[in-house]
């Protein structure tokens, strides 16, 4: 699959899962996966999903503004760099965020998130 | 060297070089390096430096707000995720930006930029 199409498909799947079934994100990470969320470092699928499901909001919607991708090296990985808006239920203004994913291939021909870094972009 | 210290040192060196000697960035890229600058894809040190030195401003200053890093896999690479402000000479307000670097080790024990993605963060 063309890398740009693959990264867009991943991004759509990731944020739709985040916004509708946050625990479902567990399938996208493995034990070696790393998340840095607003400076806090977390490792492993279970710890990562615990962090994401315990964020202080129930409902949210991500809207993606830009998606850039590049191959990351001989291991077949893909870097995906996203910027967008995060609307929390009940809040008047959306938050702006940037996030980068490093996707690594699985033996079954899919991808999982090996590296994940999330930052809000304050005005 | 501790990864956090290494990424901070790289970021300082990169942006100081950008702000004072933009052509000097050539040493930080190789022929296989990739830059995506506001959606435009460029490959190779010479093409990348040509793009950066031809940007429509002479003087600029990057101020870094956040630096996050994670190891990128068995090849010894390092992912560095930066957010900050970019002040152009003569402009009243600074631009906000996010940038990610994927640093790969050189045989001499240094690092070069393999992947580079830059995006402005519009209000």
Q: pLDDT tens digits for A27-49?
A: 999 999 999 999 999 999 999 99
Helix (H, G, I), strand (E, B) or coil at A12: helix
> Looking at per-residue confidence, does B2 or A19 come out higher?
A19
Percentage of chain A beyond pLDDT 90 is 93
DSSP secondary structure letter of residue A27? G
- What pLDDT digit, counting tens, does each position of A14-31 carry? 999 999 999 999 999 999
Q: Work out the average pLDDT over B56-78.
A: 96
Nearest CA in chain A to B74: A75
pLDDT of residue B26: 98
pLDDT of residue B123: 74
pLDDT of residue A61: 98
Measured over the CA atoms of residue A35, residue A37, residue A40 and residue A46, the dihedral's sign is negative
- d(CA B82, CA B67) in angstroms, rounded, equals 5
pLDDT of residue A48: 98
- d(CA B39, CA B48) in angstroms, rounded, equals 14
pLDDT of residue B17: 98
Q: Which residue has the tokens 């809040």?
A: A91
pLDDT of residue B66: 97
Task: Give me the residues of B, 39-68, that contact A with CB < 8 A.
Answer: 39, 66, 68
Q: Is B72 on the interface with A (CB under 8 A)?
A: yes
pLDDT of residue A62: 98
Interchain CB distance below 8 Å, A117 and B81: yes
| Number of other CB atoms surrounding residue A51 within 10 Å | 13
pLDDT of residue B97: 97
Interchain CB distance below 8 Å, A72 and B102: yes
pLDDT of residue B1: 73
How far from B25 is each of B40, B50, B52, CA to CA, in Å? 18, 10, 9
- What pLDDT digit, counting tens, does each position of A82-96 carry? 999 999 999 999 999
Q: Work out the average pLDDT over B22-30.
A: 97
pLDDT of residue B2: 85
Q: What is the mean pLDDT of chain B?
A: 96
Nearest to B115 among A39, A70, A119 (CB): A70
pLDDT of residue B61: 98
Q: How many CB pairs under 8 A join A and B?
A: 86
Residue from A36, A43, A68 to probe the interface with B (highest B Cβ count within 10 Å): A68
Provide the whole-model pTM: 0.97
Q: Work out the average pLDDT over B93-108.
A: 96
Q: Is B96 on the interface with A (CB under 8 A)?
A: yes
Q: Is A102 on the interface with B (CB under 8 A)?
A: yes
pLDDT of residue A80: 98
Ordered structural domains, chain B, with CATH? 3-120 (3.10.450.50)
| Number of other CB atoms surrounding residue B71 within 10 Å | 14
Interchain CB distance below 8 Å, A66 and B98: no
């Amino acid at each position: 699959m063309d890398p740009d199409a693959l990264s867009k498909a991943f991004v759509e799947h990731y944020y739709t899962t985040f916004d509708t079934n946050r625990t479902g994100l567990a399938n996208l990470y493995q034990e070696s996966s790393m998340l840095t969320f607003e400076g806090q470092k977390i490792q492993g699928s279970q710890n990562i999903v615990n962090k994401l499901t315990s964020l202080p909001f129930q409902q949210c919607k991500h809207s993606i503004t830009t998606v850039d991708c590049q191959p990351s090296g001989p291991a077949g990985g893909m870097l995906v760099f996203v910027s967008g808006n995060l609307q929390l239920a009940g809040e008047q203004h959306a938050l702006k965020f940037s996030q980068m994913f490093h996707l690594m291939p699985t033996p079954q021909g899919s991808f999982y998130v090996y590296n994940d870094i999330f930052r809000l972009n304050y005005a």
